[in-house]
Chains A and B, each alone.
Chain A
């Protein structure tokens, strides 16, 4: 528990991703089983102890310290576990040595509502303030230390020098403390098998095409849809919808999960049908419509009716018992088309292959597609196997050219980590009318990338020399600098005063040459809304 508490403590104060990875990898390497497995589960929110709640801790403390002092302390610190760890009065007799992580997990699992106060107190007595903090965080399952499960998996892969795609694949279906996973990674045992379980398989990803020229004889083209990439799995009588990060989002899209009832692992784009359907490629509403359905634990009936989801299939990884991932794309594609006949057309269709003999022809088709729920096109080598991650030369994404607008820098905020002393997070705005007739700037977006390190230094200097107001970490500038902002799309949004929200905005060019009053107006941006 001491090493785990130290890890938690250091992770709390570490901002750089690489440093976090290093800390977790080191811990996983140096800690014995099953402690490291439990720790990994704690970091990735994989533990649940129903007998210990935040209120259990509060009640326990109120018995030992004056309730008024507890309340004043809790209000000041703002976190129950931390307040309790600091306030715990400590044992009156010499305590036993600190418990190991597994000992703590075992004790926590064995607790009932009735026994929890006494048993938890026994554990707390054996730890110092940092240990108590780690124990209480672990017990209540709310680490909140900025570690995503993806980050933990990357750290695992780094710690044992194995491929993160393999970790992703084997991880699913295992339960804490993941001993088969450690046996495989640390001791070279056979990888865990996931047969008959609805497991996630790592996605195959694409490189941006950029200046690459490909021969259309070797590559097939299809639309890149503007939804969310998902993997659909049916195995052992159960179905799952996984997001690109491997998160199970079946509960968010129950109608999609329920519609697949044949054993298979499929790759596709999740979209919603909506009022704004575009042309012959249509049937899908824009990303903005889809966004209303994201991140929900339960979906209201009305939403299922008005924004029903479906999946436009790209690929088949496994059909029935057969793993197709080593087969060429062409073969998989043919199998997918045949398989899709057996699926509900309301919920599934197959992303159409675009006929284009040359890249130029494809470019023209891509340009004309502006109005649809289309982000661009994909190029897939006809003989490519389905491999996890991004492998050069196999798949390319070729997004539509971005939309551009000239906006004025309004506010800047200091970044974090490497950028912690730099103003690197910029809010920019457009005019709400004629700037010569008293129009004002309204914020339209925020971006912290698109510029080089040299440009960042220049921008930082600009912000410091043109500050008119400070609000904590934010500075308001004199609104003299114009950015050419590139973005993928723009939508109506009630979140901003301008009523518009950009998707994926980035600082394309710094237009120090352009006077602020020549920047674009809100109406120019609104004209680019397509839903």
Chain B
């Protein structure tokens, strides 16, 4: 794999941009970090300088209670880094503020996607295809069994379950950043205007989304409900970890749902005691991943995290040059 240009070097804890001495989504504290989006496995605290979109920085501020060294870069904006490296933040369609980072140096273009999806999402700007020489893509759902159905279909399942048993509530486990707000926004788009109840851990992130101009409708806290009956026939959103926790005992006979791309596989849903699996993901599915590689049409594809083997195989079958990067520390279990 000697084809890697001298100025960019994948290391186990992140991608090193050598002339600028900065790192993309590093798994440990560094002097200068370029961050794609706010999920904890990509956006860690403690860096000297953090370059990210204003939304991502706001999310990090909420999580780490500090904004030391924050350098906001808007979508579409290019900044000049030391060592004559230009970096541009381009929408990735993953969660609020998420970006791909385009790096240009010595006439070469490299795009690092972070996490991304290609489907419309009312809570964030859509992915933009950016031609480049090296395309560094995620592969969380990089197996051909992962084909996410249209989100409307999954919303239909959720609303039908709610209607079928009006004396119960539907408890939706959803990642606190991104998935939760997307599910709520999609419900609103489907005309569900009733109050939606939140687990306490969801509140601040939902408020932040609203401050960024994303309308989530009437939200209430489970802890503010006067009794169980108040939540009958309602949707309650909590982090996946709270689904089978004691916390859920305060709810009226909840139907346990989970919004995640992993729900495509029955056994995965059953292991989590899920009654109503909702196949909703903020990552590209197999078709999106392969279509994106074709559209970007890079000279070389690097696969960062997920099911690299199958993606490599696909690239091989399609005569595309590819390599897998062994990066550490990316977690994808709850998406």
Contacts and interface: CB of A to CB of B under 8 A. Distances in A.
Interface of A: 12-15, 65-66, 68-69, 72-73, 76-79, 82-83, 86-87, 129, 133, 414, 416, 420-421, 460, 464
A414 B264 CA distance: 25
A79 B145 CA distance: 12
B145 A86 contact: yes
Contacts of B248: 421
A73 B275 contact: no
Chain A interface, >50% SS class: helix
B273 A15 contact: yes
A394 B264 CA distance: 52
Nearest to A8: B266
Interface string B258-294: 0000001111011001111100000000000000000
Given A82-B265, A87-B145, A69 B275 contact: no
Contact of B269 (A13, A72, A87, A421): A13
A129 B263 CA distance: 13
A72 B267 CA distance: 16
A323 B248 CA distance: 55
Interface string B232-256: 0000000000001110110000000
Contacts of B314: 69
Given A420-B273, A421-B246, A73 B266 contact: no
Chain B interface bracket (under 10, 10 to 19, 20 to 34, 35 or more): 20 to 34
A82 B270 CA distance: 14
A169 B267 CA distance: 36
Interface stretch (B16-24, B181-189, B305-313): B305-313
A72, A129, A460, most chain B CB atoms within 10 A: A72
The 7 closest A-B pairs by CB, nearest first: A86-B145, A73-B145, A72-B310, A13-B275, A68-B313, A73-B143, A77-B265
Given A66-B317, A73-B143, A78-B267, 6 more contacts: A12-B270, A13-B275, A68-B310, A86-B264, A421-B246, A464-B246
A78 B266 CA distance: 10
Given A13-B275, A69-B310, A421-B245, A76 B143 contact: yes
Contact of A421 (B249, B266, B270, B309): B249
5 contacts: A68-B313, A72-B309, A73-B143, A86-B147, A421-B244
A512 B147 CA distance: 53
Contact of A13 (B145, B277, B310): B277
Contacts of A13: 266, 269-270, 274-277
A234 B267 CA distance: 44
A72 B313 contact: yes
B267 A79 contact: yes
Contacts of B309: 72
A166 to B, nearest CB: 31
Nearest to A9: B266
Contacts of A420: 244, 273
A72 B143 contact: yes
A15 B275 CA distance: 8
B144 interface: yes
Given A78-B267, A86-B264, A73 B310 contact: yes
Interface of B: 143-147, 244-246, 248-249, 264-267, 269-270, 273-277, 307, 309-310, 313-314, 317
A65 B144 contact: yes
B107 to A, nearest CB: 36
A73 B144 contact: yes
A69 B248 CA distance: 40
Contacts of B147: 86, 129
A416 B144 contact: no
Contacts of B273: 15, 416, 420
Contact of B144 (A12, A69, A82): A69
Contacts of A421: 244-246, 248-249
B65 to A, nearest CB: 29
A423 to B, nearest CB: 10
Contacts of B146: 86
Contacts of B264: 86
A460 B249 CA distance: 13
A414 B265 contact: no
Contacts of B307: 72, 76
Contacts of B266: 12-13, 79, 82, 133
Nearest to A70: B144
Contacts of A78: 267
A462 to B, nearest CB: 13
A420 B243 CA distance: 10
A143 to B, nearest CB: 12
Contacts of A12: 266, 270
Contact of A77 (B249, B267, B270, B310): B267
B244 A66 contact: no
A293 B8 CA distance: 67
Given A87-B145, A421-B244, A14 B275 contact: yes
B275 to A, nearest CB: 5
A100 B109 CA distance: 55
Contacts of B277: 13
Nearest to B263: A13
Contacts of A65: 144
B244 A414 contact: yes
A14 B273 CA distance: 9
Contacts of B244: 414, 420-421
Contacts of B274: 13
A498 B243 CA distance: 36
Most buried by A among B145, B249, B274, B276: B145
Nearest to A416: B273
A82 B249 CA distance: 33
A456 to B, nearest CB: 12
Given A12-B266, A13-B274, A15-B275, A77 B145 contact: yes
A427 to B, nearest CB: 20
B251 to A, nearest CB: 11
A73 B314 CA distance: 13
